[in-house]
Structure 1
Amino acid sequence: MTDSLPLILLVTGTFLLAGLVKGVIGLGLPTVAMGLLGLTMPPVEAAALLLVPSLVTNLWQLFAGPRFGALLHRLRGMMLGIVAGTLAGAGLIAGAAGPAATAALGGALLLYGIVGLFKPRLRVPAGAEPWAGPLAGAATGLVTGATGVFVVPAVPYLGSLGLERDDLVQALGLSFTVSTLALAAGLAWHGALGAGTAGVSLLALVPALLGMAAGGWLRARVRPETFRLCFFLGLLVLGGELLWRGFR
């Protein structure tokens, strides 16, 4: 990867938009970044670029809530599953070439878009959490390792636990933070992180934070549900395009 002007412009525009989405609806930065960057570069490079912005913005979200310790204790099985699944699957995105990796990324975005639009009403009983959490975490980790997208099935699962809004936001921050760190470890293990990539990822943090600030301003002026609908429809289009590219 070269530090060319077109790359810098692409990364700046992508993370401004991705940060804007996260600022409005509280999630979506890695998903948007992977989807847009995946149109112009291999998914493994896109995944490496999103690491620093994803980590910093999710740490911000994680420690903004008051119940970190309680949530960590409740979700520890899921978090361990995410780490194990991501490390086991990271070789897929690091080793996948061209069409297969692009198609996998497109499929993940399509799935997330469908789940987000239809919002299935799921509920996991408290007694099932000891085994459902690790399973959901491992599945999320495998998807993360294969595509760099770490929202499926983590987001639907966390939404099924009946958490209060602030707790859900903090739980999402916890899940995304663990996924980001596990993905970074997996990519490093497979030699997919270079000094140049890390530098560009660090630079991407600035537009991501600016985008989040703009999203916070926009959130007070636009109905979040309307924005969320546009977001998931956009994911369907983006995922379909990537899937088509992968199979053509």
Structure 2
Amino acid sequence: MIEPILSALAALEPETVALAVIIFFLAGIIKGVVGFGMPLFAITLLALIMPLTTAIAANVGPSLITNVRQAFRGPYLIALVKRLWPFLIPAIGLIWFGITIQLQVNEAYPGLMLGLLAVSFAAISALRYEIRVTRAQEKPFGFALGIINGLITGITGIFIIPGGLFLQSLGLKRDELVQALGLLFMLSTAMIGLVFGAKAIMTPPLLLLSALCIPPALIGLAIGERLRNLLSEEMFRKLFLAGIAILGVSLIIRNGASLLVNA
């Protein structure tokens, strides 16, 4: 039992482990304060210093654990599943195809898409642009956006665009929305983990790296939840969005330059 763990640990670079642990600690704080943003922050930042597949794999453990807690923390789970299934089924089911696309194209393309998504999310959130979807529009819109969300999640590891924005457009109460987001994030992360396992991407070293990132993420989350009442959530949110925008621009420049050089 100990030997496989030691072997997997030996295959990891100490600098990679240290950076991932620090990043997920900070990502946990962000999620604790503003209620979202762990994968968006962690994957976007990690993608600047390691392959995107490695960054996504590292996120599986922390994201799954924290979102299981969020998805089951409330009385609305069954009602949300009944209401959101037309969106959730394609959003989860098409992740497999998105990951297949990611593995078959130049890595710069998913990296560029991730950067564009990060900048788009920061801009939309900063402008507080709100869309409202009526109950009559909910199922067809949800199904179409679920398809898009599943593919984007598979390609980039990010599931908040357009999924998170769609859930925000439904007029859910705050507690319902938090639980709905947790449900989407939990199921998406679980599917990523399953597909990575089936495609032999989640190697023992990456599985160990993901496991090592869980404790700092949980510690950061607990700290963030305590800080929520002490800090200005609005100011923290603006700083977070500014940081995400900067990371997104960095990814766009890096991957765009790579594509131009190899054109």
Give the total of aligned pairs. 248
Residue pairs, 1:70-219, within 5 angstroms: 70-219=79-228
In the other structure, the counterpart of 2:27 is: 18
In angstroms, what is the RMSD of aligned CA positions?
1.3
Q: Deviation at 1:35?
A: 0.9
Equivalent position of 1:66 in the other structure:
75
Inter-partner Cα distance in structure 2 for 1:9 and 1:169: 30
1:230 maps to: 239
| Matching residue's letter, 1:246 | N
Please identify, of 146-155 and 96-105, the stretch whose mean Cα deviation from structure 2 is larger.
Answer: 96-105
Contact map agreement 1:93 1:148 (CA 8 A) in 2: no
The one-character-per-residue Cα deviations of 1:9-54 (angstroms, maximum 9, x if unpaired) are 1011110010000000111111111011101111111001100100
Is residue 91–residue 186 contact of structure 1 (8 Å, CA) maintained in 2?
Answer: no
Query: Would you say the 8 A contact 1:23–1:215 is kept in 2?
Result: yes
CA–CA separation in structure 2 for the residues paired with 1:187 and 1:97:
18
Give the structure with higher Rg (CA): 2
CA contact (8 A) 1:108 1:143 kept: no
Out of 63, 72, 92, the residue aligned to residue 54 of structure 1 is: 63
Percent of aligned pairs with the same amino acid? 34
Distance 2:106 2:205 in 1: 20
Give the TM-score normalised by structure 2: 0.91
Ranges in structure 1 where 5+ consecutive residues have no aligned partner: none
Shift of 1:88: 1.5
Counterparts of 1:84 and 1:63, CA distance in 2: 21
Report if the CA contact (8 A) 1:144-1:150 is conserved. yes
Query: 1:124-175: CA deviations, max 9, x gaps?
Result: 0001112111112111111111111111001111111000000000000001
* Contact kept in structure 2, 1:91 and 1:190, CA below 8 Å: no
Q: Please tell me the residue identity of whatever aligns with 2:84.
A: L
Structure 2: 5+ residue stretches without partners: 1-7, 258-263
Return the letter of the residue paired with 1:203: L
Superposed displacement of residue 244, structure 1: 0.3
Match of 2:4 in 1: none
- 2: CA distance, partners of 1:101 / 1:74: 31
Report the alpha carbon displacement of residue 230 of structure 1 after superposing the two structures with TM. Answer: 1.1
Say if 1:42 and 1:102, in contact at 8 Å, map to a contact too: no
TM-score (norm 1): 0.96
Q: In structure 1, what is the equivalent of residue 36 of structure 2?
A: 27
Paired residue secondary structure (1:191): coil
Give the SS at the match of 1:120: coil
